Amino acid sequence: MDQTVENQAMAPKAAPMSESEKNTIIGGVLLSMLLAALDQTIVAPALPTIARALGHAEYLPWIVTGYLLTATAVAPLYGKISDVYGRRPVIHAGILIFLLGSLVSALAPNMLVLVIGRAIQGAGGGGLFALAQTVIGDLVPPRERARYAAWISGTWAVASVAGPLLGGVFAEHLHWSLIFWINLPIGILAMAIVNNPLKKLPIAAKHHRIDGLGAVLLVVATALLLLALSWGGSTYPWFSSQILGLVACSAAFWFFFALRLQLAAEPLVSLEVLGNPIVLAGTLSMFLLQAANIGASVYLPVYLQSVVGLSVSESGTAMLGLLLGTVAGAAFSGRMIPRFVHYKRIAMIGISLAIVCIGVLSAIAGHASLLEVEILTTLIGLGSGTTFPVATVSVQNAVDRAHLGVATGVLTFLRTLGGALGVAMLGAVALGYGLPLAAEGSQTHIPLTSAMPFVMIFLTAGITLVLTLITLALMPEKELRGADEHAAPVLAE
């Protein structure tokens, strides 16, 4: 704790910054976040075209997996590095790495080079999510920060809607490589916008060092775990020697990483930060929430096609209720947080609403009308969306400025990892109950017995949301700091 106080005293004071400069920076970092978010949604519609152009269709999943592996693994590293070297050079590095990967992908002559390009993209894009929220944390005190959650949710909404549309148009009417070329002007614009204003942000912990060995152990442990989750149940059976071997190797590297955190003079992730009960509960709640949300959203279109009888394009449109509900929930929560002393209750009420609605959806899954599904999924999104600003602001409010990047990086890391785990978990449930294939364009109403896989998928997601609610209930609540108050100590009171 003394070291933290000393660091705060030694940290240079930020130059005065106008509201227009703050908004310019926030707009620029959100544009960089859009860059990375768009590339997670724009690729899927182009995959069949890419397979015809480059061949080796059996490696198509690696176009998605390659990005996911590196993006998830590096997220905590960017937070720590930006705490040590400053936000501006690290944001520039993240965008440049992402653009390099985009260039390699656009010029790829074969599938192998494309997968390598996607992995390079992930190595840059994985840090942009955490850095955008970290920079907002630098500029805006916690009491006012929640209102920017709507901007972040809106960025994801734009990516979720525009990505598939652009990917389909580029692949069908122009050329598939445009899904990567489009990143270059967006990335250059983002760098130009934030370049000068970010110079006014001080370096929070410039006398600290990066634990290289800890970083390697974390990246390898995460990559092995994600490989197991990606291959399990699809490429190999869940209990095959390949999957069990990957899980065992990942567990070994996680053990060595935990040991490194204990022994390193300055570990990659501060034990004080990890031991903070607010950080621990806040990050865990986001992990569980994303496991339920992302997992359910992957199988919801399949449900809409197989049971409700929608076409592929119609099921995509029907997903807007869940998406827009999530954005609205985050925006509402962000506006309400500064007005409530016990702001955590906003998320707890929201998650409770989502639990009830997904429970109802599982009960009527075999005979629900499209209108009923739309209402329920919109309410699920509305309820779960309230948690994002509450968890983010709570975690950032619980640490001092020198550890803001690390805490936000850990939050982003577990949020992404939770999504990957949720897809694998609900996929295992679906396979266990004999999930039927999507019936594109089918208008035949499938009886309740055929809807059983989706009943169990929605129930499993609901149970995960119950665990999210319990975690939020256990999270300590700390009064939010205002603009005129000093930064919090690393350990919450």
Q: How far apart are CA 116 and CA 118, in angstroms?
A: 5
Predicted pLDDT of residue 358: 93
- Strand-pairing partners, residue 232, are 236
Q: Could you give the maximum distance between any two Cα atoms of the chain, in Å?
A: 69
Predicted pLDDT of residue 450: 65
Q: CA-CA distances (angstroms) from residue 247 to 129, 232, 244, 415?
A: 27, 10, 5, 20
The C-alpha angle 303, 306, 307, rounded to 5 degrees, equals 75
Q: How far apart are CA 87 and CA 27, in angstroms?
A: 15
8 A C-beta contact, residue 90 and residue 72:
no
Q: Both tokens of residue 91?
A: 């944001």
Q: Which of 213, 294, 304 is nearest to 256 (CA)?
A: 213
- Say what the pTM is: 0.74
8 A C-beta contact, residue 283 and residue 417:
no
Predicted pLDDT of residue 352: 94
Averaged pLDDT, groups of 10, the chain, 493 residues long: 42 56 76 77 73 73 76 77 77 88 88 87 82 75 66 72 72 79 86 74 60 80 81 77 90 89 74 80 89 80 79 72 83 81 88 94 87 92 88 81 74 80 77 54 44 86 93 85 47 37
Q: How far apart are CA 152 and CA 26, in angstroms?
A: 10
Distance, C-alpha 397 to centroid of its chain: 20
Predicted pLDDT of residue 145: 65
